[in-house]
Amino acid sequence: MEEREVEALLERVLDGEPDRFAPIVEAYTPALFNLAYKMLNGSSETTDVVQETFFRAYRDLGRFDGRTRFYSWLCGICVNVCYDTGKRRRRAWDREQPLPEEGAEAIAVHGPDAEASLMAAQDEAGVRRCLGRLPETLRAALLLRYQEDLSLQEVADQLCIGLSAAKMRVQRGLGLMKECMSARLAGGVP
């Protein structure tokens, strides 16, 4: 859905036509579902998170100032709802400890050929597993950047951090992903 079309619909919603929000829900539900699913490692609470995201967006629509893309704003809300959900089920997440910041077992992989073979060796499930083991702040940054195609500035805006911090999180997340996938390839990580 084009941003102009979204803005026009939002204006009509705020002008007293709430049913104009339905096409927006229809358009963005798949993207938010994908984001929430990966943020929550496929939890059954994903649909609740998507619903809560739209509820919050609808409730606070009057405060959306249009300085960012509406989709970007929605992603930011969704990540926050995921954080809230994650806090509630922290105990259940204990068995999925995040990767240590330093010293993850990794095999030495250098050069474009070696890297290409490494990536090719990763199966989808393995990548998801590595993604799920990241700290949620890094996972959020990677998903917003590479799955939802937000710019680094939009990632920064929606995570309420500076551009350099967003870049650092993405880089750190990519580094940990590489270590995790390398370790999986070497059989060091289940």
Name the residues that contact other proteins, by CB under 8 A: 13-14, 16, 18-19, 21-22, 25-26, 29-30, 33-34, 37-38, 46-47, 50-51, 54-55, 58-63, 65, 115-116, 118-119, 122, 124, 127-128, 131, 142-143, 146-147, 149, 151-152, 167, 170-171, 174-175, 177-178, 181
Give 13 or 82: the residue with its C-beta nearer to other proteins.
Answer: 13
* DSSP assigned state of 20: G
Give 49 or 94: the residue with its C-beta nearer to other proteins.
Answer: 49
At 180, the amino acid letter reads C
Rounded distance, CA 65 to CA 58, Å? 13
Cβ of residue 94: shortest distance to other proteins, in angstroms? Answer: 24
Cβ of residue 25: shortest distance to other proteins, in angstroms? Answer: 5
Cβ of residue 153: shortest distance to other proteins, in angstroms? Answer: 9
